[in-house]
Amino acid sequence: MAMSGGIDSSVAAILLMEQGYELVGATFRTFDSISTACMEREKGCCNVDSIFEAKQMAKNLGFEHHVLDLRQEFKETVIANFIDEYLHGRTPNPCVICNSVIKWGRMIEVANQLNCDYIATGHYARISFENSRYFLKKGIDTRKDQTYFLWSLTQENLARTLFPLGSLTKTEVRKIAAEHGYDKLSHKSESQEICFVTNNDYRSFLVDNVPNYAENYPQGDYVDTSGKPLGKHKGFPNYTIGQRKGLGIALGEPMFVVAIKPDTNQVVLGKKAELQADFLTATKINLMKYGNLPNNLEATVRIRYRNNGIPATIVEDNGKLLISFLSPADSITPGQSVVIYENDDVVGGGIIE
């Protein structure tokens, strides 16, 4: 049982015990975070306080608990990818990398070492099995559904995974915690931030963690879509596609980041309409529902977490997804995930190029 110390994994553990499972708890220590910008230490799901809370919950429920120090692996994979993507003008999705490499990659190994048949988490998602394939289904609580971050899980991962909260709403989960005597936990708030980035300020994180950052990523030109210079930016890694605020330039009308060009140290600004596109390519794909995509599959595609999805036609070609939208999509962002859905079923996903 992967335990963060929060309400979701705690209630998941309670439910599994009531269903007769024998549990072994595991909590990952993934980072030590000190930001020179504000000197605020260790906020997020994997901090020291959360580890103690998870250990106490396991003790209360009567099962053994292990703390796994994965700080070096986390630094070499999740954090390294996070930094590298921004330094190449892309916008990373660290939760996707963490899920596949840390939470499931290492979890399967630990489960094997501890002779556990399954791994379980507090994610809001469901698992189905049809036509010899495991695949995700959206959680019943559409506001909490987390399948967007889980598209990279493999068939082996899914075959060994339990999601006890997939058929529950967050309100029901809070009620279960309260009914079992955990009133304080039932009211515990949640962090929406990246766990290792203090105050959700990735720019300060880059300054703190990239040697000679200011010298290697200096000011450059804002240009329009025709290449005309418009002013100076503060270094291209400080910007993301679709950004409007914080540009530090007044052009008489709202302008947005529509492209980032690391090779020339340029940030391209354009009007809202210039953010729209009707096509994208994705790589590093993982298919769930089908071993091979049906020809010219028509499905719904999400290009960010808070996105209802856009109808599209999807073709698989030489390890890439070629996605044509039936209506234009806004702010397609390289480095982010694209996830394909048939109603509630996750077909698969990939990384936007």
Q: Which residues are catalytic?
A: 98, 195
Question: Could you tell me if 257 and 267 are in contact, meaning their C-beta atoms sit under 8 angstroms apart?
Answer: yes
- Residues 95 and 182: their CA atoms lie apart, in Å, by 28
- Residues 344 and 69: their CA atoms lie apart, in Å, by 36
- Residues 221 and 76: their CA atoms lie apart, in Å, by 32
Question: Could you tell me if 262 and 256 are in contact, meaning their C-beta atoms sit under 8 angstroms apart?
Answer: no
| 192 Cβ neighbours under 8 A, 6+ residues apart | none
Buried b (16+ CB within 10 A) or exposed e, 32-52: ebebeeeeeebbbbbbeebbe
CA distances in angstroms from 41 to 56, 82, 115, listed in the order given: 22, 20, 35
- Please name the helix (run of DSSP H) or strand (run of DSSP E) that holds residue 339, with its range, or none: strand 337-342
Q: 220, exposed or middle or buried, with CB in 10 Å at 0-12, 13-18, 19+?
A: middle
- Residues 87 and 142: their CA atoms lie apart, in Å, by 34
Q: 257, exposed or middle or buried, with CB in 10 Å at 0-12, 13-18, 19+?
A: buried
List the alpha helices (DSSP H) in the chain.
7-18, 48-61, 71-74, 80-86, 94-97, 105-113, 155-159, 170-179, 183-186, 202-209, 213-216
